[in-house]
């Protein structure tokens, strides 16, 4: 706009806010001018800055109201302002100090504030989440299915723990526990010692017999041995397989 000469009448006809004469204003600015009053754009900016300094409290109150009424625009403006500030070389040291604060002090303070906010607004948050879930049922189902596919070992561990809770058994175990047991058994069945591709997680003392769901009561077995064992006593089953005298 600044390098294209256009009269005020032509700019108004085209629906533009500014026009450009190619001549300097009284203050010496070679700049575009407002169509509605003919004032130089640079002069207008300087006058606004001058007025803001003299009327700081009034300007701050106006900006506060504007931010409340225009949250999206305010967010965009804040991002632009932050990007501009961080890009200046003279602010590098300040950026380093801010980064250090964010790593050490900021997260704890923010966590405390968020915790207090969650406690104060617990009912509102629950209601908001309930409404969101009711509107996004299919999305949630898809996300859950996708998570189970991507985290099959963890999903199976959660399922086993839930089953143990329903049977009022004590203890839990995780997917990492099963991986470590698999490595300790070298990928072989605890009974027939066959090499496993697919495996069952077997409770040594069955939950039905009062066994716990802790890691120490869990082992890896093949499908055949696990189904044959069922809820039998582990010693009796091992003797029937010729493993114990």
- Please report the domains of the chain, with CATH numbers, ordered by start residue: 8-52 (no CATH), 154-240 (3.30.40.220)
pLDDT band at 3 (very low <50, low <70, confident <90, very high): low
Q: Which pLDDT score, from 0 to 100, does residue 116 have?
A: 87
Query: Distances from the Cα of 117 to the Cαs of 81, 111, 113, 244, in angstroms?
Result: 28, 10, 6, 61
pLDDT of residue 205 exceeding 90: yes
Q: Which pLDDT score, from 0 to 100, does residue 2 have?
A: 47
Q: Which pLDDT score, from 0 to 100, does residue 109 have?
A: 66
Average pLDDT, the chain: 88
pLDDT of residue 149 exceeding 80: yes
Mean pLDDT over 130-146 rounds to 94
Q: Which pLDDT score, from 0 to 100, does residue 36 have?
A: 87
pLDDT band at 53 (very low <50, low <70, confident <90, very high): confident
Q: Which pLDDT score, from 0 to 100, does residue 242 have?
A: 83
pLDDT of residue 1 exceeding 90: no
Q: What percent of the chain has pLDDT over 90?
A: 53
Number of residues written out for the chain:
245
Q: Is 193 left (phi over 0), alpha (psi -120 to 50) or beta?
A: left
- Which of 177, 175, 182, 173 lies closest to 221, judged by CA? 182
pLDDT, one tens digit per residue, over 73-129 is 999 999 898 888 888 888 888 877 777 666 555 556 667 788 888 899 999 999 999
pLDDT of residue 178 exceeding 70: yes
pLDDT band at 69 (very low <50, low <70, confident <90, very high): very high
What pTM did the predictor assign? 0.50
Query: Distances from the Cα of 105 to the Cαs of 82, 96, 97, in angstroms?
Result: 21, 14, 11
Mean pLDDT over 18-31 rounds to 88
pLDDT, one tens digit per residue, over 211-240 is 999 999 999 999 999 999 999 999 999 988
CB contact set of 12 (below 8 Å; sequence gap of 6+): 19, 35
Q: Which pLDDT score, from 0 to 100, does residue 65 have?
A: 92
Q: Which pLDDT score, from 0 to 100, does residue 73 have?
A: 92
- Which of 17, 78, 63, 26 lies closest to 47, judged by CA? 26
pLDDT of residue 245 exceeding 80: no
């Amino acid at each position: 706009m600044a390098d294209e000469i256009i009269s005020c009448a032509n700019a108004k006809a085209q629906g533009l806010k500014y026009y450009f004469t190619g001549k300097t204003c009284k203050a010496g600015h070679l700049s575009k001018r407002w169509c509605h009053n003919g004032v130089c754009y640079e002069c207008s900016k300087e006058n606004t800055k001058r007025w803001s300094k003299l009327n700081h409290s009034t300007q701050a109150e106006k900006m506060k109201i504007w931010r409340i009424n225009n949250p999206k625009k305010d967010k965009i403006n804040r991002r632009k302002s932050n990007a501009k500030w961080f890009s200046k070389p003279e602010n590098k040291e300040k950026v380093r100090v801010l980064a250090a604060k964010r790593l050490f002090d900021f997260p704890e303070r923010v966590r405390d504030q968020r915790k207090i906010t969650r406690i104060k607004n617990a009912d509102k948050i629950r209601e908001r989440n309930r409404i969101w879930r009711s509107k996004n049922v299919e999305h949630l189902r898809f996300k859950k299915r996708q998570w189970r596919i991507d985290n099959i070992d963890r999903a199976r561990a959660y399922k086993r723990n839930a089953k143990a809770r329903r049977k009022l058994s004590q203890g839990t175990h995780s997917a990492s526990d099963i991986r470590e047991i698999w490595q300790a058994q070298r990928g072989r069945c605890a009974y027939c010692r066959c090499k496993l591709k697919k495996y069952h997680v077997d409770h040594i003392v069955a939950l039905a017999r009062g066994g716990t769901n802790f890691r120490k009561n869990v082992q890896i077995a093949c499908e055949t041995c696990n189904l044959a064992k069922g809820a039998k006593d582990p010693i009796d089953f091992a003797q029937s397989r010729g493993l114990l005298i």
